[in-house]
Amino acid sequence: MKIIPRSIAAVALSVLFISASYSQQKATYVIVHGAWGGSWSFKRTDSILSAKGYTVYRPQLTGQGERVHLASPDIDLNTHIKDVVNTILFENLHDIVLVGHSYGGMVITGVADSIPERIKQLIYLDAFVPNDGESAITARADGQSGPERESVNGFIVPQWVKETDPLPKDVPQSLKTFTTPVSWKNPRAKALKATYILTVDEGKKPEEDFFYLFAERARKRNWKIVEMTADHNPQNSKVAVFAELLIKVLNP
């Protein structure tokens, strides 16, 4: 019988252990918040996923949330795309699950077009799904997207955004973030696995939902479509169900 030297056997066992560890490694989520909001809105989602062994990053878009002190009418969609791209590059992240909520769909589209090699899967949560050259305003067939139609001094200030509200809270957002066209040209980006989660208010039909148009666009791209009974912000109203859904989408 051939005897393997202890040192060689130890190395072999170490390699097997490391290989097993990598195979069991759980996904890394990068979650991009929606318009007027902040990364704070996904804090509870982060806690649930982290407790289950997943790694979560919540990039804060410039001018929003805790970076509201940097707010400027010069901030555009490309600024926000760079916020997320740089988080991924400087944290040296690979094989990520990139999630975009609402306006965040515009952002993750630009991120995917820029660095598709760093992304394993895209998840659009009740989000914009733009074609190449579209902005948040022009992406809709009717050419409008609610509050984005009216601006004050270069900022969009929806009815619900109040200066007197306690922190954390939604804040005004630069008009340019809604009017900047996004690039969606990269073949590698278009080949990425993608899922669209359409949230539908209880008692309503999917086609009555504001984002149904984009769910249908995703369907035409042969993406997986998942319907969830919830309002537009399941990360607040149904956080436990939403967190489980993010995991289920990866492990059907």
144 has pLDDT over 80:
no
- Please report the pLDDT score of residue 3 as a whole number: 52
Q: At what angle do helices 239-250 and 43-51 cross, to 10 degrees?
A: 50
Q: Which amino acid is at 41?
A: S
3-state secondary structure of 42: helix
Q: Using pLDDT thresholds of 50, 70 and 90, give the confidence band for residue 251.
A: confident
Average of per-residue pLDDT across 124-130 = 98
Beta-strand (E) ranges in the chain?
28-32, 55-57, 96-101, 119-125, 155-156, 173-174, 193-200, 224-229
In a domain, 94, yes or no: yes
77 has pLDDT over 50:
yes
Q: Give the residue with greater pLDDT, 96 vs 163.
A: 96
Calculate what percentage of the chain has a pLDDT beyond 70: 86
In a domain, 124, yes or no: yes
Tens-digit pLDDT profile for residues 11-25: 444 444 444 444 457
In a domain, 13, yes or no: no
Q: Which residues pair with 199 in a beta bridge?
A: 228
In a domain, 11, yes or no: no
- Please report the pLDDT score of residue 182 as a whole number: 98
Q: Which of 130, 244, 119, 142 is nearest to 192 (CA)?
A: 119
143 has pLDDT over 90:
no
The residues carrying an active-site annotation are: 102
178 has pLDDT over 70:
yes
In a domain, 186, yes or no: yes
In a domain, 7, yes or no: no
Distance, CA of 48 to CA of 25 (rounded, Å): 17
Q: Which of 67, 65, 93, 62 is nearest to 78 (CA)?
A: 62
- Please report the pLDDT score of residue 145 as a whole number: 53
Tens-digit pLDDT profile for residues 79-102: 999 999 999 999 999 999 999 999
Tokens 């190395």 appear where? 11
- Please report the pLDDT score of residue 13 as a whole number: 43
Q: Give the residue with greater pLDDT, 1 vs 176.
A: 176
pTM: 0.89
In a domain, 6, yes or no: no
- Please report the pLDDT score of residue 18 as a whole number: 40
- Dihedral sign for Cα atoms in the order 60, 151, 199, 237: positive
Average of per-residue pLDDT across 233-247 = 98
Domain count, the chain: 1
Distance, CA of 99 to CA of 220 (rounded, Å): 20
Tens-digit pLDDT profile for residues 113-125: 999 999 999 999 9
Domain that residue 157 falls in: 24-250
Please, which residues have CB within 8 angstroms of residue 22's CB and are 6 or more apart in sequence? none
The CATH code of the domain that includes 170 is 3.40.50.1820
7 has pLDDT over 60:
no
- Please report the pLDDT score of residue 152 as a whole number: 85
